[in-house]
Amino acid sequence: MSCEIRPTGSMRWGDRMADIGIALPDLLRLVQAHLFLSGCAVAAALLVGLPTAILAARNRRIGAPMLGLISLLQTIPGLALLALFYPLLLLAGRASGLPIPALGFLPALLALGVYALLPIVRNGVAAIRGIDPALVEAADGLGMTGPQRLLLVELPLGAPVILAGIRTAAVWTIGTATLATTIGQPSLGDLIFSGLQTEDWRRVLVGCIAAAALALLIDFVLALMESGLAVRSRGRLGAGIALLLTIVAGAVLPIPDRTGSVGTAPGRTIIVGAKNFSEQYILADLIETRLRKAGYRTERRDNLGSAIAYRALAAGDIDVYVDYSGTLWANVLSRTDTPPAKAMLETLGRELAQRDKVRLLGSLGFENAYAFAMSRKRAQVLGIGDLGDLARASPRLRLATDLEFLNRPEWRAVENHYHPSFSAARAYSPTFMYRALGDGSADVITAFSSDGRISAMDLVTLSDPRGALPHYDAVLLLAPRPAREARVVAALQPLIGRIDIGMMRGANWMVDRDNDKRTPREASAWLAAKIGPAM
Amino acid sequence: MISFSQVTKHYAGRPVVEGISLSIARGAFVALVGQSGAGKTTLLKAINRLVEIDSGAITIDGEDVTALPLAALRRRTGYVFQGIGLFPHMSVAENIWLVPRLQGVPIDGRAERVARLLELVALPPVLADRYPAQLSGGQAQRVGFARALAAEPSLMLMDEPFGALDPVTRSELGRAYRALHERMGLTSLLVTHDMAEALLLADRIIVLGEGHILADLPPRELLAYRGHANVQAMIDVVRDQTDRLDALGRSDG
């Protein structure tokens, strides 16, 4: 297939570090976001943790259960903790009637803060309890009040141990903050997660190395301060503080964005959501480009779980994203029937607007549905064009599916409508499923219809004349607020119906293939050029 | 004047001090002597309320100690103990100046006052800028005394203040403090398990045993005491040691 890269004009020399798969300003922005989030989380943990530690150190009856509780929180896996805060905040928002954002910075801050709590509290308690009892007796005997003893004796003497706890917390937090991307908060995890999804190992590596480097840097600076405190060297402590302040300044300094302006463009910031696969990244980039041209600033919330994305849109935590009609039909409307594509879109448009004031702007023009695919040549030889033909030929054919298809309602629907009886049906992970087809150990596979490999391997997808398989039209959804904004709608309207299945497969292939891999942004630029003058 | 009236304190249900009543005159140098667990430290710490008593009352110049603000009570009472407790992150001057600092005394007079206090405990003024880790044990406890005296208390409470020092330093510092006591007109309470030290330093010795006062006499009369076996045993040890030392001296010469 053809997927030549046309120069997009906006890229300048040095704008992109060709060998690491990400533009430098974008990398810096992620580093900043990562640092800012981690810093705020550790600061929040410190704000809560230090008083808790003091209380726990003074009162053993409170101390033991408190440390137990915090240790228990620590055993929750980071990913789960992040995911838990979404429904919690959603609930809190509903219960209080306040506009509490359930996605992005706040839940990430809370989850990471909780995570950072343990080393801070544990070391805080150890620092205060570890102080020579003679010094505590002296402090009391001299007539220090509780707060005086804390400020003049316990905190200064416990500082190295307290700081060691902060150091542990900071390193943990910087590592765990990569997971924040799953609840829509930008971090270096964006690179890791999208890199894993698109099998772009350069991005994974850059993300990992950048996060590790940040952790090492912060660890070094805090270690410098810690040793400065331990040996009472003002020089070391001062150098550590100066470095820390420099890093803090770096975390909040504005970085020029892609268009060269420093993020002061008129118009509000529109938040574009994406689930966790290549096609979603490409389309989100395409949407961003349209909105930026219309004068909006944009932010991304990537790697949203399928269940979270729609709720986030309905709650206004994201403004726009692409979902699929069949997914919305089953998950949001809880329907099990499979009406024709047009009827499904109409019903969805009406029901989502009525229920959540969400606007379904329209179908982009392609489907990402389950489809049976086989090599073009073999299909021609066997005379197979649709699922009816396939079912008749099935006793001589071997089926390869992805890991879950044989347990899905789609498969039951196909069996009920066409009664196939394949000589073998085996489940593979997607990559091996395509290999099985390639090396002849399978004749038919269950593909996703917009998968780039369909074009690249010259496969045909078989039609479904009896309508057994549900439709998965890619549709553009707008949150209640942007749904009412004519300029946003006008900026995105030109995408409706303009992306055919071939174009989407081409763009997906650019990102998913192993050789000459492109970034989602490059693929979206290619797609934009294909769509043509309206863009 | 300090007076104790029916003071009782229990630890884990066991009485450590039981119904003790006594009064101590202004300017007295009183030693509280007894074996471990006799209640001497408890009695001492009950005065500045490092220990809270279960029942009874303690008054200083007629004022019940529980009626006074805790910080004020402690700041006007000098306290020296075996652990010394100099703060390692503060210089000698900062340590000595702590109570005046807590009282909000302006820092202007610090250097001069610290120098005077160092002189009082026979330390050179250059020590003011050193840190506790740079001091010998004897120097550190001298600083401990200087710190306790900084706010010019009239009452000094001392809990085994010489306990951690070598015998030479111990004797030296004991005598030095006795001189200070005279010169500054202090009221001094010294807890020690060393009967010889008590006999040599104090004007009045209170021997405690199992929470009760076993004997309460001036040193000379205590030496002639006949009564409670435990008290006699303590005195006998001192006398026996002296006798043997005398004998050793005579056989040598």
Nearest chain B residue to A230 by CA distance is B89
- The pLDDT tens digits for A7-23 are 333 333 344 444 566 77
Of A93-102, A223-232, B46-55, which range is least confident? A93-102
Domain total for chain B?
A: 1
Nearest chain B residue to A229 by CA distance is B89
Q: What is the pLDDT of residue A195?
A: 81
User: Which helix (H) or strand (E) covers residue A271, if one does?
Assistant: strand A269-273
Q: Closest Cα partner for A501 from A474, A479, A533? A: A474
A264 pLDDT higher than 50: no
Q: What is the pLDDT of residue A23?
A: 73
Q: Mean pLDDT over residues B156-172, rounded?
A: 91
C-alpha A456/C-alpha A1 separation (Å) is: 6
Q: The tokens 């009886």 sit on which residue?
A: A421
Q: Which domain holds residue B241?
A: 2-250
C-beta of residue B140 within 8 angstroms of C-beta of residue B96: no
Quote the tokens at residue B145: 């005394």
Amino acid occupying residue A404: E
Global pTM reads: 0.72
> Backbone dihedral region of A464: left (phi > 0), alpha (psi from -120 to 50 degrees) or beta?
beta
- The pLDDT tens digits for A129-186 are 999 999 999 999 999 999 999 999 999 999 999 999 999 999 999 999 998 887 878 8
Q: Give buried/exposed letters for A87-100 (b at 16+ CB in 10 A, else e).
A: eebbeebeeeeeeb
Q: Do A134 and B83 touch (CB under 8 A)?
A: yes
Q: Quote the minimal CA–CA distance from B119 to chain A in Å.
A: 21
Q: Do A134 and B81 touch (CB under 8 A)?
A: yes
Q: Closest Cα partner for A108 from A3, A186, A16? A: A186
**What is the number of CB-based contacts under 8 A between chain A and chain B?**
58
- The pLDDT tens digits for A269-288 are 899 999 888 899 999 999 99
Instruction: Mutate one of B87, B96, B147, B158 to test the A interface: name it (highest A CB count within 10 A).
Output: B87
Nearest chain A residue to B82 by CA distance is A134
Q: Do B71 and A145 touch (CB under 8 A)?
A: yes
Contacts of A143 in chain B (CB under 8 A): 70-75, 99, 102
What is the percentage of chain A residues whose pLDDT exceeds 90?
53
**Cα A290–chain centre separation:** 21
- List B63's β-bridge partners, or say none: B60
CA atoms within 13 A on the CB side of A8: 20
A501 pLDDT higher than 90: yes
CATH of the domain at B143: 3.40.50.300
Quote the tokens at residue B60: 């200083």
User: Which helix (H) or strand (E) covers residue B204, if one does?
Assistant: strand B204-209
Q: Mean pLDDT over residues A12-35, rounded?
A: 70
C-beta of residue A390 within 8 angstroms of C-beta of residue A384: yes
Q: Do B50 and A138 touch (CB under 8 A)?
A: no
Q: Mean pLDDT over residues A181-195, rounded?
A: 84
B176 pLDDT higher than 70: yes
Instruction: Mutate one of A142, A234, A237 to test the B interface: name it (highest B CB count within 10 A).
Output: A142
